[in-house]
Amino acid sequence: MLDPAALAAAWDEMLRLPAEERARLVREGRDRVAENFTMKTIADQYMKTYREVIGDRAP
């Protein structure tokens, strides 16, 4: 659910973190994306979903 007040509070909390902590969070987030969202992993996830939906009806 969308909760604008909670989102604003989270942003406020994040912006109050020390610069070093914000930089660490950015690095960790970037690393997570690089590891988990490559073209191969996304394609594999699409194919898995496709096979689950189509099943034996696949050409």
Identity of the residue numbered 8: A
Domains in the chain, number: 1
Note the pTM of the prediction, 2 decimals.
0.61
In a domain, 24, yes or no: yes
Closest CA to 8 of 16, 33, 28: 16
In a domain, 8, yes or no: no
- Give the confidence band of 59 by pLDDT, cuts at 50, 70, 90: low
Q: What is the pLDDT, as a whole number, of residue 36?
A: 92
Sign of the torsion angle spanned by Cα atoms 26, 27, 31, 34: positive
Domain that holds residue 36: 18-57
In a domain, 9, yes or no: no
- Number of helices (H), then strands (E), in the chain: 3, 0
Residue-wise pLDDT tens digits, 2-48: 899 999 999 999 999 999 999 999 999 999 999 999 999 999 999 99
In a domain, 39, yes or no: yes
In a domain, 13, yes or no: no
